[in-house]
Amino acid sequence: MITHAETAFQKAKLAQVARANPDNAVDLVSIASRVDASALSIFQQAISLDQEAESQAVEATQGIADAVEAIEAARNYTTRSAQDNTKSIAEFRAVQAAQDVQTAESTVAKAKVASNSAAERLLAARATLVEHLVDQAEADAKADAYVEARPSLILRSQS
């Protein structure tokens, strides 16, 4: 069916080209100026009918093109996909898209877990650093106290 529609569309396009060639080759204004006044109304009717036929032909060509698109869209919903013979092409693509969304959600969840784990390790490292700095400050304070107290201890031991 689609091949017949496509053939009709191709022939309609050829017909459009065939109609355009004579229209482009003929200067209707110059012909109208040479038509006898008694035949002028008949000539104008012929021109009007030609324009109406042209308009209808263009509409028909567009209708054929729309039909081809509709048939192709319908085929996507009725033709089985090569990847999964139980589903139409559209169903298969929808399932694929849903799987892609699930994969993305899983990736995001894994990234959140990794991020939370890194944050927990950072907090633990920060606590360890604070503890180390406090211990270092205490050790420095004790060392400073011993250094300051040493002269007085030496004097006491000598007395």
Could you report the per-residue pLDDT of 93-147, keeping only the tens digit for each? 788 898 999 999 999 999 999 998 999 999 899 999 999 999 999 999 999 988 8
Residue 8 within any structural domain of the chain: yes
- The count of structural domains within the chain is 1
Residue 144 within any structural domain of the chain: no
Backbone angles phi, psi at 88, to 5 degrees: -75, 170
Structure confidence at residue 65 as a pLDDT band (50, 70, 90): confident
pLDDT at 93: 78
Residue 67 within any structural domain of the chain: yes
Structure confidence at residue 77 as a pLDDT band (50, 70, 90): low
Residue 137 within any structural domain of the chain: no
Cβ atoms of 7 and 59 within 8 Å: the answer is no
pTM of the predicted structure, to 2 decimals: 0.39
5-9, 46-50, 138-142: the lowest-pLDDT one:
5-9
Q: Is the pLDDT of residue 154 over 80?
A: no
Which residue segment(s) compose the domain that 21 sits in?
A: 2-78
Residue 73 within any structural domain of the chain: yes
